[in-house]
Amino acid sequence: MTPSLALARAPRARRSWRKASVLPGFPLALGVTLTWLSLIFLIPLSALILRPWELGPAGIWAVVTDPRVLAALRISFGSAALAALVNAGLGLLIAWVLVRHPFPGRRLVDALVDLPFALPTAVAGIALTAIYAPNGPLGQPLSALGIQVAYTPLGIILALIFVGLPFVVRTVQPVLEDLSKDVEEAALTLGATPPQTAWRVVMPAVAPALLTGVGLAFARAAGEYGSVIFIAGNMPLRSEIAPLLIVIKLEQFDYAGAAAVGLAMLVLSFTGLLILNSVQGVLASRGRA
């Protein structure tokens, strides 16, 4: 075969290779994808968006701006944001220790990180309440110091840290495993201090994954119900979360009002995730530059 003929056939060979796939054709795959997304996501989401409009714009505004609803939204999203920030540092530290420091029992600790995934959230809430109640093994000495955890917003944050921590650890851990130690050693050889190496070498590589984990932890915490309901105390205007308020409205057959609160949570959650994704995009573009 002459070189010119080989070059002429190369693009055709590449095109035929691109068409080969273990998945069905594009129209069928796209149809299955859209159908599945519609059944599990788009249709319920559309119902959530449309149901509150039974009240009209004024009715929706009256529900969302009710002092009790505003307090519940503030507690839910404020606690979720604080828990996500705590999990950012704690999850990064745990992932670093599991990846870079072999120690006896590391596999056991690595398995325990996934415990909040497997443990029913109600069981986690009961356990945390029993431990941090005023007469509990940890709550009693804390109460003696004037720190009450259970039945306060602090207990809500503690429960949200518990359920959100695995998201950060499991998102950051693979990135640290792929990050070569040679880069850190080269930075130290060139005179960088350990803090400088961590901030200028490790963090730029880990930051996008860390933000992804924080976003997942925030999204999970914002709508968390089972692990919070027992330790929160559920006092209106003080420790009542928005998901509980939705359940209360459903029990009162106020479906439109419950959907209005859910719509407010949807907008706030989407706004928070959009901000995190924007920051992540900026960091990724700087890393490529």
Number of domains in the chain: 1
Answer yes or no: is 176 within a domain: yes
User: What parts of the chain have a pLDDT lower than 70?
Assistant: 1-24, 283-284, 286-289
Does 32 map to a domain? no
Q: Is residue 169 part of a domain?
A: yes
Domain that holds residue 232: 57-288
Does residue 40 lie within any of the structural domains?
no
> DSSP for the chain?
--HHHHHHHHHHHHHHHHH--SS--HHHHHHHHHHHHIIIIIHHHHHHHHGGGGGHHHHHHHHHTSHHHHHHHHHHHHHHHHHHHHHHHHHHHHHHHHHH---TTHHHHHHHHTHHHHS-HHHHHHHHHHHHSTTSTTHHHHHHTT---TTSHHHHHHHHHHHHHHHHHHHHHHHHHHS-HHHHHHHHHTT--HHHHIIIIIHHHHHHHHHHHHHHHHHHHHT--HHHHTTS---TTTT--HHHHHHHHHHTT-HHHHHHHHHHHHHHHHHHHHHHHHHHHHHHHHHH-
Residue 66 is assigned to a structural domain of this protein: yes
* 5-63 per-position pLDDT tens digit: 444 454 554 444 455 556 667 778 788 888 888 888 788 888 888 888 888 889 999 99
Task: Give the pLDDT of residue 289.
Answer: 57
Return the pLDDT at 3: 46
Specify if 104 maps to a domain: yes
pLDDT at 24: 62
Identify the pLDDT of residue 163.
Answer: 93
Q: Check residue 287 and give its pLDDT.
A: 59
Give the per-residue pLDDT at 19: 52
Domain CATH code at residue 261: 1.10.3720.10
Query: What is the pLDDT at residue 245?
Result: 92
Q: Considering the domain boundaries, does residue 8 fall inside one?
A: no
Question: Is the residue at 37 inside a domain?
Answer: no
